[in-house]
Amino acid sequence: MNTMQTTPAARPAPSLEAVRLSKSFLSGVVRVQVLQGLSVALYPGELSLISGPSGCGKSTLLSLMSGLQAPDSGQALALGEDLGRMGARALEKFRLRHTGFVFQGFNLFPALTSLEQVQLPLGYMGLRSAEALRRAQQALDEVGLSHRSHMRPAELSGGEKQRVAIARAMAKAPQLLFADEPTSALDAESGQRVIDILHRAARSHGTTVLCVSHDPRLVRHADRVLGMEDGAIRSDWRQSSAFKEHDE
């Protein structure tokens, strides 16, 4: 079902755009073409989901769109800026300011409490410690983990760890939030909670959420589902209500 019925004027400018992105990797003596001229535009306030078979290039696309890797050819535009034209320092600054990441494996520091995990990147951003503390507490509250603030990862469940990771990403108030298989290590209930939080980030903060997942529960909650195969987008489905707020 293609429900893209809104007029172009109702749609905001894309916040993330891939323009004929190509990327290959050398595997021994063989060059493997992972992305082949992939183009896609993503919009603020939406949770867009990329699904597709293992090895089709989903994580690679995420890393190109976030400036973690450079494409062989094509452009990755984020918030209107061509990431490939930024110098290394500008790119690092851009990523720190505007992007948040959530991974399957949580990537938390074992020695830090939940509150410290969330505060850490805020310090790198140059926020004063009182402001960092306030924002970190608020982010943990948003994911329902205020009562786990002083616990370390070993004392938390998988779902709680992932919610700390999301709080860490969201405390920066990034315009772009990337999540690679954020629910695949979680049970149904924790996974559902994580999905709700990501969706809320898109809805209430206008964040562009780009999420890679095989999780069928996530498909139902996404505003848009992009089906990827052999390094290209093969299908593009959008919920009819996705752009409602922009029509009003």
CA distance 149 to 161: 11
Q: By CB under 6 A, how many residues form the interface with ligand ATP?
A: 11
CB of 181: closest distance to ligand ATP in angstroms? 7
Q: Which is nearer to ligand ATP, 115 or 222 (CB)?
A: 222
Q: Which is nearer to ligand ATP, 58 or 172 (CB)?
A: 58
Q: Per CB under 6 A, which region of 55-63, 86-94, 122-130, 147-155 contacts ligand ATP? A: 55-63
Which of Mg ion, ligand ATP, none does 143 bind, CB closer than 5 to 8 A by kind?
A: none
> Both tokens of residue 26?
């050398």
Q: Which is nearer to ligand ATP, 20 or 244 (CB)?
A: 20
Name residues contacting ligand ATP, limited to 13-42 (CB under 6 A). 25, 27, 32, 34
Q: Which is nearer to ligand ATP, 4 or 32 (CB)?
A: 32
Check binding of 7 to ligand ATP (CB under 6 A).
no
DSSP for residue 84:
G
Using DSSP's 3-state secondary structure scheme, residue 180 falls into strand
How would you write 118-170 as a 3-class SS string?
HHHHHHHCCCCHHHHHHHHHHHHHHCCCHHHCCCCHHHCCHHHHHHHHHHHHH
CB of 68: closest distance to ligand ATP in angstroms? 11
Using DSSP's 3-state secondary structure scheme, residue 101 falls into strand
CB of 228: closest distance to ligand ATP in angstroms? 7
Q: What phi, psi does 245 have (nearest 5°)?
A: -60, -25
CA distance 179 to 198: 9
Which of ligand ATP, Mg ion, none does 56 bind, CB closer than 5 to 8 A by kind?
A: ligand ATP
Using DSSP's 3-state secondary structure scheme, residue 51 falls into strand
Q: What is the contact mask toward ligand ATP in residues 58 to 77, using x (rule: CB under 6 A)?
A: xxx-----------------
Check binding of 59 to Mg ion (CB under 5 A).
yes
Check binding of 117 to Mg ion (CB under 5 A).
no
Angle at CA of residue 214, ends 212 and 216, nearest 5°: 115
Q: Which residues contact 113 (CB under 8 A, 6 or more apart)?
A: 149, 150, 151, 152
Q: Per CB under 5 A, which region of 32-40, 57-65, 69-77, 167-175 contacts Mg ion? A: 57-65
Q: Which is nearer to ligand ATP, 22 or 137 (CB)?
A: 22
Helix, strand, coil percent content, the chain, rounded in steps of 5: 40, 25, 35
Positions that interact with Mg ion (CB under 5 A): 59
Positions that interact with ligand ATP (CB under 6 A): 25, 27, 32, 34, 54-60
